[in-house]
Amino acid sequence: MPRQQVIPQQQAADPTVNQPTLADSHATTLRAATVGTFDGVHRGHMEVIRILRSEAARRGLSPSIITFDRHPLEVIAPPRAPLTLLPTDEKRARLLEEDMEVIILPFDNAMMHMTARDWMRHMRRDLGVRLLVMGYDNTFGSDGRHLSAADYQALAQDEGLELIIAPAIEGCSSSLARKAVARGDMPEATRILGHLYTLTGTVVEGDRLGRTIGYPTANLDLHGASRRLLPPYGVYLTRATLQDGRQFAAVTNIGVRPSVTSSRELRIETHLLDFDEDIYGTRLSIGLLRQLRPERRFAGLHELREAIAADEREARRLYPESESQLKPNHISTNGNHQL
């Protein structure tokens, strides 16, 4: 059976601490669990987690979220594997905000061949699962694509598990969120996810060109997240969140800066409005509110400066309205989340 990385509920306040890797053992904790990829942790996922929390409390079970260290298709069929909405560490941190245990399994070749029955047996015997909550369109196991909800119910009964299938949240899935991000429709992505699509990384040194033309930028290093889905190249209205929690309206360029270089190197550069502090080496999160315009090539720095000034004016005009539209989209299961 697979090794698992278990992140206990009490460690939720600090997702950066080293987590133990547990060998297979017969569990002593009785759990209610849900299992899935949870890419994006969208509104449908939050409904499953809400049901998990409620039903676990009713039965006196410990709620647990079981997920993977990568998208399963990266192992099963790499050419079909989608770019991800959330890297594993950010997914883990977001799930930990729900104040419940998170179990991260390494999805490998052995796991790829586990049937749905194998999964249920492992969850009951080795993880102490007694209640399993599934999303309405969720499947697991090497034979999962051939199984119906009734098949899963029958297997669960055979293996001594209670199974609850959550109701559908219409128009809400990881694949729909990916499509919205891929076409640059950030309001639609926000509606599906229930939170801003956010890029998080470390502020690194750039060439300081922005400062020389009056618009200093923070250059974001995503730590080699090569499988992270990015929206189309362009200029975006964003909300910047500093490491200390302060938030600022911002204008972010995602692209290759054709006006100043021919290198084709991808850059994510953010100009924070009404902000002038040294934040090199710190963590920065950029929540994408909407696209202002596609990336384009300008004739020179003067024309580029005028375009950036127009972007800033548009950002100042749109930011209050965009922020006010966020909260109605948000689904939280415990009140800790803030959009």
Q: State pLDDT tens for residues 206-227.
A: 776 666 767 889 999 998 677 9
Name every residue whose Cβ is closer than 8 Å to that of residue 310 and which is 6 or more positions away in sequence: none
Q: End-to-end alpha-carbon separation of the chain, Å?
A: 38
DSSP-H helix ranges across 166-205: 174-182, 186-193
Strands laid side by side in the 4-7 sheet: 21-22, 4-7, 101-105, 62-68, 31-35, 129-134, 162-165
**202 burial level (CB within 10 Å; 0-12, 13-18, 19+):** middle
Mean pLDDT within 299-317: 89
pLDDT score for 18: 33
What are the distances in angstroms from CA 15 to CA 92, 101, 133, 165, 276? 8, 11, 24, 29, 30
CB of 55 within 8 A of CB of 164? yes
Mean pLDDT within 276-301: 92
Q: What is the DSSP letter of 84?
A: B
Residue 316 CA to residue 275 CA, distance in Å, equals 14
Per-residue pLDDT tens for 22-48?
334 456 789 999 999 999 999 999 999
**221 burial level (CB within 10 Å; 0-12, 13-18, 19+):** middle
Q: How does residue 21 score in pLDDT terms, banded at 50, 70 and 90?
A: very low
Q: Is the pLDDT of residue 11 over 50?
A: no
Q: Is the pLDDT of residue 135 over 70?
A: yes
Residue 64 CA to residue 7 CA, distance in Å, equals 10
Residue 33 CA to residue 65 CA, distance in Å, equals 6
Structural domains in the chain, sorted by start: 4-165 (3.40.50.620), 189-326 (2.40.30.30)
pLDDT score for 332: 53
